[in-house]
Amino acid sequence: MRGFLRGTLVIYGALVAGGCARLPQTPARNPILRDSTDYTSDPAPLVVDGTLYLLTGRDVARVGQNDFVMPEWQMLATRADPMRGPWSHTPHFVRPEDVFRWAMPGRAYAAQIVRGVDGRFYMYAPVVQATTSDRDRFAIGVAVSASPTGPWTDAHPSGPIVSQSYPVANTIQNIDPTVLVDDDRRVFLYWGTFGKLKGVELERDMLTFKGAPVDVTSLDGFFEAPWLFNRNGTYYLAYAANKAGPDSECTEAVYYACLAYGTASSPLGPWTYRGVFLDPVSSTTSHPGIAEFNGAWYLAYHTADAIGGGHFRRSVAIDRLEWDDAATPARIKKVIPTGGPVFDATPISNIASHARVTASNAPVPVQYWLRALNDGKVRPSPLPPDMWATWTPKNPPQQWVMYQWAEPVTIHASRIYFWGDQPPGAAIGVTAPRAWRLEYFEGGAWRSVSATAQYTTNLHAFNRVEFAPVKTRCLRAVFDASTDGKTYAAVAAQEWEVHATVKRVPARLSPKGAANAACR
């Protein structure tokens, strides 16, 4: 067992000259820990006696490793303004195998600590069972402690309180628990992922199902990460949603999640969907934890914004959550995230980020993300939404992508980064095109640029082409698919740069929406 104090680090900033007194750092930006030493994920707030605790996971995936490698939980805590700190940090709070004899090491997923009806603290922890015949081995264990900081012991040593076979059979992945101890009297547990959400009342022992679980189906786009709370007698269920599409209010690409919520007048529903309150962040997953602290409400979530961050190297951020109390029931206002990655405002010749992008296969299948093309990022081991791609079971011989700028631009070079899961020359799957060319729109027609050399088609590399400068609002890249003469492979690109004679400060995110008639 790793106690709270062992290894606890208070995040301090500058030394006062001469006195060696340490001054608390006042973080100007999110995420809370962002120096790449410790990656924190899945925050679960808890307020006890003037302290705001954030229980978090720890992401230790290597760069390019697409897996939730999460060996232990961490703890952040503050008694100050959460937007300024200081925060204390316990990097090694507790590990699954420290508490649950029936659990394997390595998967300390999104957990939550609540104060139980008996005044003790209960930690609901999704872990993997070491020995089970369950098809999916994830299960929810409960640890108990006299203090929110531990030490923790297994409250149900015979095993998890929820698994695929206990206490009633289910077929879902049993993770992402959220628990509400309502009025210090009744206890409610929700959990689920991959679009399945279950809720149940627990007995006052905090462990035993009281009745059969309900399946919640009315929360639009529910994906995972439920967070249940009560404000002024209304029950709120916040969650990560992934209803995707180019015009979705939630997310353009299905891997990315927005945070949405519903309300109910009783803790087991029925639930009414109330909308999106946080747009997708830089990590594909998004995970809410909401609490009132010192008279203000806060949303804790995670992003990929820390140094060296990624979809599986996430870091916890916190922002104010505001209410619209003029509505009944009160609505959550859209949260505007503060902080974020360090933005480099140096002007650059690549003006792709200023372009509206469209493609021959629009609306692009929701696993891909069209605007990944000009987000300035080429990730190792990309996920589908880190690229634009055209894959279907039957691919056509030709595809294109197009940039449109608001004003004419003078451009002279371009480079594109092809991704594939098949070798060059393949006629299935995704690979580099057989050939490609750049065309600009002028006088009502598409014309080829005058390239100074042959176009290259290297996979997993940038392919650069220089050409005689042209002034245009519209540029497209046309791809002839790789083929064996019978079938065609799809095309995918992680990034497409276009270089102009006049440098510009990059846009943080390219404009959204289809190109207009100026390019037709």
Binding residues for ligand FUB (CB under 6 A): 41-42, 57, 68, 109-110, 175-176, 224-225, 285, 287
Q: Are 165 and 132 in contact (CB under 8 A)?
A: yes
Radius of gyration, CA atoms only, the chain: 25
Q: Which is nearer to ligand FUB, 41 or 482 (CB)?
A: 41
State which residue, 316 or 389, has the beta carbon closest to ligand FUB. 316
Least Cβ distance, residue 316 to ligand FUB (angstroms):
11
Residue 405 beta carbon to ligand FUB: minimum distance, rounded to whole angstroms: 37
Q: Which is nearer to ligand FUB, 75 or 110 (CB)?
A: 110
Structure tokens at 441: 């729109």
Here the tokens at position 64 are 């390019």
In the chain, DSSP finds a helix count (H) and a strand count (E) of 1, 32
Tell me the closest approach of the beta carbon of residue 336 to ligand FUB, in angstroms: 21
At its nearest, how many Å lie between ligand FUB and the CB of residue 376? 25
Positive or negative: CA dihedral 18, 19, 20, 25: negative
Q: How far is the CB of 396 from ligand FUB (least distance, A)?
A: 36
Least Å distance, CB 68 to ligand FUB, is 4
Rounded Cα–Cα distance for residues 68 and 358 (Å): 32
For ligand FUB, the closer CB: 140 or 364: 140
Contacts for 157-165 with beta carbons within 8 Å, 24 or more apart?
157/101, 159/102, 159/129, 160/100, 160/102, 160/127, 160/129, 161/207, 161/208, 162/189, 162/191, 163/129, 163/132, 163/134, 163/138, 163/139, 164/134, 164/135, 164/136, 164/139, 165/132, 165/133, 165/134
CB of residue 348 vs ligand FUB: minimum separation in angstroms? 33
State the minimum distance, in angstroms, from the CB of residue 43 to ligand FUB: 10
CA atoms within 13 A on the CB side of 245: 5
Query: What residues have CB less than 8 Å from 229, skipping those under 6 apart?
Result: 180, 235, 236, 238, 290, 291
Answer positive or negative: Cα dihedral of 241, 244, 250, 256: positive
Name which of 98 and 176 has its Cβ closer to ligand FUB: 176
Collect all residues with Cβ–Cβ distance below 8 Å to 422 and sequence separation of at least 6.
Answer: 428, 429, 430, 431, 489
Q: Are 428 and 385 in contact (CB under 8 A)?
A: no
Q: How far apart are CA 336 and CA 380, in angstroms?
A: 29
2 vs 302, which CB is nearer to ligand FUB? 302
Q: Report the nearest approach of ligand FUB to the CB of residue 365 (Å).
A: 23
Least distance in angstroms from the C-beta of 223 to ligand FUB: 8
Residues 6+ apart with CB under 8 A from 212: 168, 200
In the complex, the smallest distance separating the C-beta of residue 309 from ligand FUB, rounded to whole angstroms, is 14
Burial class (CB in 10 A: 0-12, 13-18, 19+), 122: buried
**Closest separation in Å from C-beta 57 to ligand FUB:** 5
Per DSSP bridges, beta strands 258-264 and 234-241 are antiparallel
Closest CB to ligand FUB among 222 and 418?
222
Q: CB nearer to ligand FUB: give 109 or 152.
A: 109
Instruction: Report in angstroms how near the CB of residue 70 gets to ligand FUB at its nearest.
Output: 6
- Strands 112-115 and 88-94, bridge-based pairing: unpaired
Q: How far is the CB of 17 from ligand FUB (least distance, A)?
A: 42
Tokens standing for residue 476: 């497209």
Query: Based on CB atoms, which residue is closest to ligand FUB, 110 or 202?
Result: 110
**Residue whose CB is less far from ligand FUB, 263 or 303:** 303
CB–CB of 418/433 below 8 Å? yes
CB atoms within 10 A of CB 161: 23
Strands (E), 294-397: 296-303, 315-320, 323-324, 331-332, 348-350, 356-359, 388-389
User: With respect to ligand FUB, which residue has the nearer C-beta, 12 or 194?
Assistant: 194
Identity (one letter) of the amino acid at 343?
Answer: F
Pick the closer one to ligand FUB by CB: 175 or 478: 175
Is the CB of 31 or the CB of 506 nearer to ligand FUB?
31
Q: Name which of 225 and 490 has its Cβ closer to ligand FUB.
A: 225
Edge to edge, the sheet with strand 178-182 lists: 178-182, 186-191, 198-202, 209-215
Burial 429-460, CB ≥16 within 10 A → b, else e: ebbbbbebbbbbbeeeebeebeeeeebebebe
